[in-house]
């Protein structure tokens, strides 16, 4: 008969599962070869360690709590799947069974560990596979929903359509810009909502459904009696099979920008035409007036050469004619050249020009400015000077009055120029629709210095041209010159 101790030792050593006998302090007293093989340590190395030292840090606290309960006698058995450190630092999974042996003279703990690494790995692979399949199924169901959510809340004109060009989702901006509620268009055909879509756009939609991405920086859409300009981009959206499930239309209404571009182009043409008309006017004045007077002066001088006896009596008259011609040439020069502003400053230059203009036209131009001096930046002074010239020319030509009032003042950080007459006036709406070149020129000049021009007029009620320009604080003091 084999002694019980020897039988126990033979079973202990031959067991295919790891077995360790520990004291209540968690110190291994005996370990079998299977346990040593599983962890890669020798028996002596294992006996020199505490049982918790084989656990990863995130598991050690739980292991120690359970062992403490075992020591306290609150439990006498527990089982769990846990990880163990091997000697090479790798981890293995084991199914641990712990039992308290109270029948011995000194209580001991027996730990039986069955390695289940392959089983755990298979379970994790299966779990990950199931998660991937679930995620793929969820993605299959939610991909369109996520795309719909994006479309609805993106701050731009966006529409999501299926392969039959039916609306799946639209952004709030799309609804606002096209004056629709989403409930009115979801599920309906794009071509039903917009029956006037050009055929070329339908061809573009078909190309996008075939997988192309297309875009246009600007495109014209003539619809319902008005023209709309759009910048658009069309993308196919793909399902999980990689096949276009429909298209996304990104759109931006650029009609206002195009109108502004056209207005600027029209204004530029008007300004060029205005310049040409001004050149024609100056040429006519030089040819029909000054040139003719110079020709007459030359003829009279030639006549004096033939009749020297008349020189004494006619010299004074010829001198006056020469001075008048010189004054008119100088006045014409002043209209073209702003050098007087450089010499006299903005206020002095405008006051001097008003006086000269009134003398030439035979009318009274009363110029009023504050006693306190105002310093104007050159660009503001030049703008006000040109507006003053245009306004006085118009008043002298159309108002029929012999007195015009000009006022220049500063108020609340703004410079104000007012040109007033009490003459015939005109219909402002008709003049605005006609876009007279002088009015265009004044408005554009004032706009370039961030100012505002207002014109008040009515038939037989006179006209007031009022310009307001903001002044920076550094321009509110100093000498005007």
Same domain, 223 and 325: no
- For residue range 45-92, what is the model confidence (pLDDT) as tens digits? 888 888 778 888 888 888 888 888 888 888 888 888 888 888 898 989
Which of 239, 336, 242, 320 minimizes the C-alpha distance to 285?
336
**Does 344 share its domain with 293?**
no
The residue range of the domain holding 230 is 141-253
Q: Give how many domains the chain has, as a whole number.
A: 4
Does residue 214 share a domain with residue 283? no
Same-domain status, 272 and 227: no
Whether 242 maps to a domain, the answer reads yes
Q: Are residues 325 and 417 in the same domain?
A: no
**Same domain, residue pair 344 and 462:** yes
Integer Rg of the chain from CA: 50
Q: What is the pLDDT of residue 287?
A: 64
Instruction: Give the CATH number, domain containing residue 224.
Output: 3.30.450.20
Q: Which of 253, 268, 292 is the last residue of a domain?
A: 253
In a domain, 145, yes or no: yes
pLDDT of residue 26: 82
Report which DSSP code applies to 106: S
Note whether 302 and 245 are same-domain residues: no
For residues 349 and 475, state if they share a domain: yes
Kindly state whether residues 238 and 314 are assigned to the same domain.
no
Cβ atoms < 10 Å from Cβ of 46: 21
> Each residue of 222-252: pLDDT tens digit?
877 788 899 999 999 888 778 899 999 999 8
123 falls within a domain:
no
- Residue 94 CB burial class (10 angstroms; 0-12, 13-18, ≥19): buried
Q: Are residues 342 and 481 in the same domain?
A: yes
Asked whether residue 128 is domain-assigned, the answer is no
Is 203 in the same domain as 155?
A: yes
Q: Does residue 131 lie within any of the structural domains?
A: no
The answer to whether residue 235 is domain-embedded is yes
Both tokens of 214, joined, read 């297309």
- CATH number, domain containing residue 349: 3.30.565.10
Mean pLDDT value across residues 165-172 = 92
Using the 3D structure, point to which of 115, 133, 149 is the last residue of a domain. 115
Establish how many alpha carbons lie within 13 A of residue 403's alpha carbon, considering only the half-sphere containing its beta carbon: 2
Distance in Å from the first CA to the final CA of the chain: 134
Domain boundary among 237, 253, 269: 253
**pLDDT, average across residues 189-218:** 92
Torsion of CA 139, 145, 147, 149, to 10 degrees: -140
2 has pLDDT over 70: no
Q: Give the pLDDT confidence of 88-135 residue by residue, as tens digits.
A: 989 899 888 888 887 667 788 888 988 888 888 877 877 887 777 676
């Amino acid at each position: 008969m084999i002694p019980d101790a020897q039988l126990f030792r033979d079973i202990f050593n031959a067991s295919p599962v790891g077995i360790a006998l520990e004291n209540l302090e968690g110190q291994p007293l005996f370990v079998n070869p299977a346990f040593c093989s599983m962890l890669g340590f020798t028996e002596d190395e294992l006996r020199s360690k505490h049982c918790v030292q084989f656990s990863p840090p995130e598991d050690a606290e739980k292991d120690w709590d359970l062992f403490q309960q075992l020591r306290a006698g609150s439990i006498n058995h527990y089982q769990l799947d846990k990880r163990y450190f091997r000697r090479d630092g790798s981890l293995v999974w084991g199914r641990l069974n712990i039992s308290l042996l109270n029948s011995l003279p000194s209580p001991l703990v027996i730990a039986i560990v069955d390695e289940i690494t392959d089983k755990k790995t298979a379970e994790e692979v299966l779990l990950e596979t199931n998660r991937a399949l679930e995620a793929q199924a969820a993605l299959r169901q939610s991909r369109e929903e996520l795309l719909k959510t994006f479309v609805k809340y993106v701050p731009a004109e966006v529409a999501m359509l299926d392969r039959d060009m039916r609306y799946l989702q639209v952004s709030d901006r799309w609804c606002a810009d096209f004056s629709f509620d989403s409930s009115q268009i979801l599920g309906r055909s794009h071509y039903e909502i917009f029956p006037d879509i050009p055929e070329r756009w339908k061809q573009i939609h078909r190309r996008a459904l075939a997988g192309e991405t297309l875009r246009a920086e600007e495109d014209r859409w003539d619809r319902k009696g008005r023209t709309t300009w759009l910048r658009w981009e069309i993308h196919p959206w793909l399902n999980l099979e990689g096949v276009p499930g429909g298209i996304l239309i990104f759109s931006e209404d650029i009609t206002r920008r195009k109108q502004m571009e056209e207005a600027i182009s029209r204004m530029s043409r008007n300004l060029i035409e205005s310049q040409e008309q001004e050149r024609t006017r100056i040429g006519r004045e030089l040819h029909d007036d000054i040139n003719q007077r110079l020709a007459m002066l030359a003829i009279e001088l030639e006549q004096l050469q033939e009749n020297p006896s008349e020189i004494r009596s006619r010299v004074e008259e010829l001198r006056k004619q020469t001075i008048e011609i010189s004054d008119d040439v100088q006045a014409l020069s002043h209209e073209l050249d702003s050098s007087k502003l450089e010499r006299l400053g903005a206020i002095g230059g405008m006051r001097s020009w008003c006086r000269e203009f009134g003398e030439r036209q035979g009318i009274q131009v009363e110029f009023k400015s504050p006693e306190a001096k105002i310093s104007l930046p050159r660009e503001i002074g030049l703008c006000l000077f040109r507006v003053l010239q245009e306004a006085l020319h118009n008043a002298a030509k159309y108002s029929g009055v012999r007195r015009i009032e000009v006022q220049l003042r500063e108020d609340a950080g703004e410079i104000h120029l007012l040109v007033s007459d009490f003459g015939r006036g005109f219909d402002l709406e008709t003049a605005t629709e006609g876009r007279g070149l002088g009015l265009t020129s004044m408005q554009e000049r004032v706009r370039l210095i961030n100012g505002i021009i207002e014109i008040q007029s009515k038939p037989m009620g006179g006209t007031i041209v009022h310009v307001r320009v903001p002044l920076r604080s550094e321009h509110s003091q100093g000498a005007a010159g």
